[in-house]
Structures are given as structure tokens and as C-alpha cells.
């Protein structure tokens, strides 16, 4: 298995210079008081396209060969990876087809179309997005860009960790704990490579929606576990039923565990971020913050980094969260 | 008249090290497209206390004498200066009394109380906040901390400009235009001192609510004009009827003009920031962005900095903005 290393994350950071935003590491007195510790929030909602996904997508697309570029790329995603791929493709002049579920948040579909990508909608309950993407990939000889289980995608997402580690140092802090939302685990894997190298004492945890806490259970079992389909969740970005093969090869040996949060806890964390941090988070993007505010992560007297991974949320859901 | 200089802003920046956050200078493809130019947004909503006001307040309070500190401070404010003074007082161990209108946004009252300040509510329509603050100041021999017409407050707010100028340089950009929300004009004055020194070609504009556009009219007239009381406005942070005496002595010779925006334009700018920037803005904090998005500021082919001055807004108003 060809897995990225810390050096590959550093290389991705060079490619992303001038493309990805160095998002701020926020803190707030109210958050520290609520956690009983010191909590830093890496605000990837302020990233270009509203989530961290552009880091991995661009790092993959920038490495397309001259022959591959005109044939374009195809990706499937409920919306954040979709926007990351579409925006990267637009910057690089590469055609992009994005396969999205017909019930994806409207904002995500519109934004993806806004980056000039061709959208193919599918029914999540009757159609296979993998099959649709594979067919399009074959028909057009386009490169399929996975949303997490990919060497360059993982390395690109890891640049979140590079920045966070540097920002912690600038703040004169060392993190005891880092909590990161996980769907397929690509962001967590990239960050894991970085923290192993730069801050090996930091204990790493995933945060997932209840019923989709495949990382938590896989980490407990010591092997990848695929969950039965669960009920609906507001955390549309975090619905993978199983850790990725490559991502879990990275995450398995490096993580301390995982947290599962309810939709209500995610909404409540969004409201906290509205009130105290003044950042817009989507439910999945608030999962790690929810693990802290729900008290599931015990941070008394400790220093933690929480990844706030995205902010692409429809107004109705947001109004419900803050109301 | 004793007015601050660029050096006083630099001195304030030293005092604010480790106290104020270096807020990010954001940009977005959607915003550039909407403006037809290049627009940077200085996100002071991400500042400690949710607005820039802590900069000026702390820079004033840190200069209290040993004799003044135990007697404390008194301030009046609809909420952002209130929080800035209260949080600064808490950090410095100084007692604070804040006089607030009984119809101030609940979030602002609660947050101010949360910083340990004593709150005195008054009726905006029948009572004089100046008289109440003066009486409390006399009774307790407390120092009154003005929200804008003060040497150290202006110098402190100017650190927003110092950061923005440095961040523009890091981005390899020069600004043709800077637009800043104005109530009494303290933030604009501090920034004006900085941009005169570091970027004299940048044309400076205020943004105010329609009916409270005393800077726009005063700049046109070349002297301070006091407006008749106007109807209600959602921009609770920007309701001063007249530029400050000291602030206008700074602003008058340095500004190119002012924009007036409607409540609907401010709400619409808040929704744009929700959708594309993922920051939470209050109506007054969105006034400069509204001047851009409404087309009042003509930015075709130009580079602009917009100050997003605060994000302390009640959920009901926010839900209305994004709905």
C-alpha cells in the first residue's frame, strides 16, 4: 500500500501556496470556560469553497499529466469535495463532472455549479454513485478523484495539520488532544502524519455522527468495520459507513479513539460558534466542537485543537441551529 | 486638540500584543465577481468580544494610573464598546459599570454581564446615557471611557489598519479604496492615521446606515453636521447622530467621502457573508460590505479593503437576514 508520509504533506503545502488560505486558529474565553481547558479552533470553514476539501482536491489535480488534463476529472460527493474539485478544476483549466445526490444541500449544488462543473444528480436510495462515476470516467477517459482514499488527497488535507502545528507554536501552546471530524478519514489521516512528526504527544480523536461512528468502532476493534445503514443525519458531510482502506492504514496505528455526537449536539455546537466564535459551521463541520461542548471529550486542564472542517449549510438548517 | 499620530497606533499595537487577535483578511471568488474588482474583508467579527472595540478599550484601560484602577471605569454603549470595556476591565482587574439601552440586543447585554461588568440599563427615549454615566463617574470617582472621542481609543482602533496594511502587503496587493463602518468615527480615524502613513494613495470612505449618515454629510459640508433623530435602524452599533469632535478632526482632512446603506442592504450583505465568507456579521458590521454589494461603491477593476467590524447579532435578526 502506497501511503503518504510527512514529507508528502510538506510537498502538498508548497503546491497549495497561493491557492489555499492559511485559515486562522481561533480561541474564545467562552469556549475555554465551557471546556474547562484551553481550546483552539482551526476554522477551515473560512477556507476557499467553505471547507478544507480544496486542499486535497487541488493537490491531486495539480499532479494530472499533460495527457490527463484535457480529458478532465470526475468525482462524487455530497458537496464539499464537489466544490473542492470543481474550484480546483476551474483554476487549472480542467473539465470536471461531479456526481451529487439529489438531496444534497442546495447551497452545495449551486456553489459547485458556480465553479463551472457539470453536475450529474443521482438518487441516493436507488443508484450507486460509484457506478455512475466509474461509467463517466470510462466514457470520457476522465480521472476519478476520490474524496479521501487517495495518496495526494490525504497529503493535501494534511496541510491543515501543518498550519495548526505552526499556529500552536506561535501561540506558545502544545496540544494534549486534537479532535477532527471524520467521514472517510482523509483529513484525519493527513493531520495524523503531521502530528506524529511534529507533536507526537498529542492524542488524536475522530468525531462522527452517531450511527456513522465507524472510525470510533473500527479503532476499538483494531480493524475496519462497516456499519449498517443508519437513519438520516444532518451531518451530510460525514456519512461514510466505513473508514477508507488507505486512510485507516494511516489512522489505525496513530489514533487514540473516536467520539460520536448527535445531530442535536452538532446543532448546539453550530449555535455556540455563531454566538461566540462568529464563524458559520455546517453540522458535520461542527462535530469536533460538539464532542467538546457535549462533554464527551474530557478537557479539564488540557489544551486541545478542534478542527472546524466546513461551513456549507443551508439557511433553514442554520436558522434551526441558532433559533 | 490633542490628536493621536501614527506612532500612537504603533504604540497601541505593542500594548495589544497577546490581547487582541490578529484577525484574518479574507477574500472570496464570489465577492470579487460581485464587485467586479478585488475585495479584501478584514474580519473583526473574529476579534475577541466579537468586534474591534476591545482594541481601543484595552488601549485606554491599560493606561489607567495606579490610583484610577481600583476606582474603576464607566462606559455607555449599545453593546460592542460595552463588551470591549468589560472584557478589558476583567483582564486588568478593574471594576466596570456599563450603561446600556434597555433595547440593546440581548446577546450584547448578556455577553457584557458575562465579562463581569455591572450593567445599568436606561430608556433611550426618556433618559440621557451621558448624564447617567457622568453621575456614576462622579459618585465613584470612576474614569469615563468614551466609545470613540478619545486619544487612546482612536489609537487602539487604528491597529485594525496596521494589520490590514501588513496583510495587504503579504498578499502582494495595494488598495485603491478602503471602506469602514462609522458611528462616531473612531475606527475610521485610527485606520486613517495608518493608511496616511503606509498607503496614502488609498481613498478612505465611511459606511453608515441611511438616516445616520452624518459622516457622509459632514464630509460633503466640510464640517461636523448633527442629523435630526431618524427612524429605527437595525444597525444598532452605528447610530451616532454626529461625528465625534476629535474623530472628525482626524477624519475630515483624510477621507474621500461616505456611503449610506439601507437596513435591507445590510441584511443582504450579512446573507452574502453567511453564504460565501462563512463569517457572522451584525447589521452595522456589514455596512461596508453592503456599500460594495449594493453597487454604491464602484470597484470595477479596483482593489478594496472592507472592514467587517462586528458580529454580535441576535439569532432572530440573523435568521431574518439569511432567510
| Residue of chain B whose alpha carbon sits nearest to that of A91 | B29
- Which residues does B contribute to its contact with A (CB < 8 Å)? 21, 23-24, 26, 28-30, 43, 45-46, 48, 50, 87, 107, 114, 271, 274-280, 311, 315, 318-319, 322-323
Mean pLDDT computed over A135-159: 96
Instruction: Please tell me the number of Cα atoms within 13 Å of A294 on its side-chain side.
Output: 22
Nearest CA of chain B to the CA of A321: how many Å? Answer: 9
Q: What is the pLDDT of residue B106?
A: 87
Measure CB to CB from residue B323 to each of A46, A271, A319 and give the nearest one.
Answer: A319
| Phi, psi of A43, deg, nearest 5 | -90, 75
Mean pLDDT computed over A166-176: 97
**β-strands B118-122, A257-261 pairing:** unpaired
DSSP string, A170-183: HTT---SEEEEE-S
> pLDDT of B105-124, one tens digit each?
888 899 999 999 999 999 98
C-alpha distance from residue A180 to each of A150, A171, A187, A190, A290 (Å) = 18, 20, 8, 11, 11
Q: Which of B173, B278, B320 to mutate to test the interface with A (most CBs of A within 10 A)?
A: B278
> pLDDT of A246-298, one tens digit each?
999 999 999 999 999 999 999 999 999 999 999 999 999 999 999 999 999 99
Rounded Cα distance, A216 and A211, in Å? 11
For chain B, residues with pLDDT lower than 70 are none
Kindly provide the ipTM of the predicted complex, given to two decimals. Answer: 0.95
pLDDT-derived band at A130, boundaries 50, 70, 90: confident
Cα A271 from chain centre? 20
One CATH from 3.40.50.1100, 3.20.20.70, 3.50.50.60, 3.20.20.80 for B6-52+154-322: 3.40.50.1100
Q: For the domain bounded by A54-151, which CATH number is listed?
A: 3.40.50.1100
Rounded Cα distance, A92 and A94, in Å? 6
Give, in degrees to the nearest 5, the angle at Cα A55 between B307 and B28.
25
> pLDDT of A89-98, one tens digit each?
999 999 999 9
* E strand or H helix at A118: strand A118-122
Q: What is the Cα Rg of chain B in Å?
A: 18
Cα A257 from chain centre? 17
Q: What is the pLDDT of residue A238?
A: 94
Q: What is the pLDDT of residue B10?
A: 98
Handedness of CA B287, B290, B296, B299 (dihedral sign): positive
| Whether A323 and B315 lie within 8 Å, measured CB to CB | yes
Q: Report residue B85 as a C-alpha cell.
A: 470595556
Q: What is the pLDDT of residue B50?
A: 96
**DSSP H stretches of helix in chain A:** 6-16, 29-35, 53-61, 80-92, 106-114, 129-140, 151-157, 159-170, 186-198, 214-221, 245-254, 263-272, 287-293, 315-322
**In which region does residue B88 sit, left (phi positive, over 0), alpha (psi from -120 to 50) or beta (all else)?**
alpha
pLDDT-derived band at A145, boundaries 50, 70, 90: very high
Grid cell 476583567 is found at: B90
- What percentage of chain A exceeds 70 in pLDDT? 100
Residue A141: how many CB atoms within 10 A of its CB?
A: 11
**In which region does residue B242 sit, left (phi positive, over 0), alpha (psi from -120 to 50) or beta (all else)?**
beta
Q: Which of A80, A83, A114, A278 to mutate to test the interface with B (most CBs of B within 10 A)?
A: A278
- Pick the closest to residue A86 from A312, A319, A314 (CA basis): A312
Measure CB to CB from residue A280 to each of B28, B107, B279 and give the nearest one.
Answer: B279
Rounded Cα distance, A154 and A256, in Å? 19
Rounded Cα distance, B36 and B230, in Å? 33
**β-strands A38-43, A25-26 pairing:** antiparallel
DSSP string, B197-223: HH-TTSEEEEEEETT--HHHHHHHHTS
Give, in degrees to the nearest 5, the angle at Cα B236 between B230 and B239.
45
Q: For chain B, where do the domains classified as CATH 3.40.50.1100 start and end?
A: 6-52+154-322, 54-151
* E strand or H helix at A208: strand A203-209
- Would you say residue A78 has pLDDT above 90? no
Q: What is the pLDDT of residue A38?
A: 98
Name the DSSP letter for residue B69.
G
| Whether A278 and B29 lie within 8 Å, measured CB to CB | no
C-alpha distance from residue A91 to each of A94, A110, A144, A311, B172 (Å) = 8, 18, 18, 22, 19
> pLDDT of B255-268, one tens digit each?
999 999 999 999 99
* E strand or H helix at A203: strand A203-209
* E strand or H helix at A206: strand A203-209
| Phi, psi of A99, deg, nearest 5 | -95, 115
**C-beta of residue A112 within 8 angstroms of C-beta of residue A86:** yes
Helix (H, G, I), strand (E, B) or coil at B260: strand
- Would you say residue A1 has pLDDT above 90? no
Q: What is the pLDDT of residue B105?
A: 87
- Which residues does A contribute to its contact with B (CB < 8 Å)? 21, 23-24, 26, 28-30, 43, 45-46, 48, 50, 87, 107, 114, 271, 274-280, 311, 315, 318-319, 322-323
**In which region does residue B298 sit, left (phi positive, over 0), alpha (psi from -120 to 50) or beta (all else)?**
beta
- Pick the closest to residue B280 from B313, B306, B307 (CA basis): B313
- Would you say residue A300 has pLDDT above 90? yes
- pTM value? 0.96
DSSP string, A122-141: E-TTT--HHHHHHHHHHHHT
What size, in residues, is chain B? 323
Rounded Cα distance, B190 and B255, in Å? 12
Give, in degrees to the nearest 5, the angle at Cα B214 between B264 and B61.
100
**C-beta of residue A143 within 8 angstroms of C-beta of residue A95:** no
> pLDDT of B206-219, one tens digit each?
999 999 999 999 99
Rounded Cα distance, B288 and B280, in Å? 14
Measure CB to CB from residue B323 to each of A26, A28, A315 and give the nearest one.
Answer: A315
**C-beta of residue B191 within 8 angstroms of C-beta of residue B159:** no
Amino acid at each position: 500500500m502506497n501511503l503518504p508520509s510527512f514529507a508528502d504533506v510538506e510537498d502538498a503545502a508548497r503546491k497549495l501556496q497561493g491557492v489555499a488560505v492559511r485559515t486562522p486558529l481561533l480561541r474564545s474565553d467562552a469556549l475555554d470556560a465551557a471546556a474547562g481547558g484551553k481550546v483552539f479552533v482551526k476554522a477551515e470553514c473560512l477556507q476557499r469553497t467553505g471547507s478544507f476539501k480544496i486542499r486535497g482536491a487541488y493537490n491531486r489535480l495539480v499532479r494530472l499529466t499533460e495527457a490527463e488534463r484535457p480529458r478532465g476529472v470526475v468525482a462524487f460527493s455530497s458537496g464539499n469535495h464537489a466544490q473542492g474539485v470543481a474550484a480546483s478544476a476551474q483554476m487549472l483549466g480542467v473539465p470536471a463532472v461531479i456526481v451529487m445526490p439529489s438531496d444534497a444541500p442546495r447551497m452545495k449544488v449551486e456553489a459547485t455549479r458556480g465553479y463551472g462543473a457539470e453536475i450529474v444528480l443521482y438518487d441516493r436510495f436507488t443508484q450507486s454513485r460509484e457506478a455512475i462515476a466509474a461509467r463517466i470516467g470510462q466514457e470520457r477517459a476522465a480521472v476519478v478523484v476520490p474524496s479521501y482514499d487517495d495518496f495526494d488527497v490525504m497529503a493535501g488535507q494534511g496541510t491543515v495539520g501543518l498550519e495548526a502545528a505552526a499556529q500552536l507554536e506561535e501561540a506558545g501552546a502544545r496540544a494534549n488532544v486534537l479532535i477532527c471530524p471524520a467521514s472517510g478519514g482523509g483529513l484525519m489521516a493527513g493531520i495524523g502524519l503531521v502530528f506524529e512528526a511534529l507533536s507526537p504527544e498529542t492524542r488524536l480523536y475522530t468525531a462522527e455522527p452517531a450511527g456513522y461512528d465507524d472510525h470510533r468502532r473500527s479503532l476499538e476493534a483494531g480493524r475496519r468495520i462497516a456499519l449498517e445503514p443508519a437513519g438520516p443525519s444532518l451531518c451530510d458531510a460525514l456519512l461514510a459507513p466505513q473508514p477508507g482502506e488507505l486512510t485507516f492504514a494511516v489512522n489505525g496505528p496513530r489514533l487514540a479513539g473516536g467520539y460520536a455526537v448527535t445531530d442535536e449536539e452538532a446543532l448546539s455546537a453550530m449555535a455556540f460558534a455563531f454566538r461566540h466564535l462568529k464563524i458559520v459551521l455546517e453540522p458535520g463541520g461542527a462535530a469536533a466542537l460538539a464532542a467538546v461542548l457535549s462533554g464527551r471529550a474530557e478537557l479539564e486542564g488540557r489544551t486541545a485543537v478542534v478542527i472546524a472542517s466546513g461551513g456549507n449549510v443551508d439557511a433553514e438548517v442554520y436558522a434551526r441551529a441558532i433559533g
